[in-house]
């Protein structure tokens, strides 16, 4: 498995199929752009950010449990 690529699909497309024959030419660049954008967005996020969001969700859950 290729761990450098977020999007992985169809290792052996059928060359006799018009879609299969062209799928990587058509989608690979778009998928690389999407992966790059996701990586850039995630680079702005720290573990402290995730911890803070998690604690906020847990606090909301606890408050909802107490009400209901």
pLDDT digits (tens, 9 = 90+) for 42-58: 999 999 999 999 999 99
Instruction: Give CA–CA dist 40/49, Å, rounded.
Output: 15
Q: Is the pTM of this model over 0.75?
A: no
pLDDT of residue 2: 59
Dist. CA 43–CA 48, nearest whole Å:
13
Report percent pLDDT > 90 for the chain. Answer: 82
- Measured between alpha carbons, how far is 27 from 21 in angstroms, rounded to an integer? 12
User: From residue 6, how far is each of 2, 22, 26 by CA, in Å?
Assistant: 9, 20, 17
Q: Would you state the pLDDT for residue 15? A: 93
């Amino acid at each position: 498995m290729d761990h450098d690529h977020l999007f992985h699909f169809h290792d052996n497309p059928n060359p006799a199929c018009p879609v299969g024959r062209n799928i990587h030419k058509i989608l690979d660049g778009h998928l690389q752009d999407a992966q790059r954008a996701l990586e850039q967005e995630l680079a702005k996020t720290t573990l402290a950010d995730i911890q803070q969001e998690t604690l906020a969700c847990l606090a909301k859950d606890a408050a909802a449990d107490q009400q209901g």
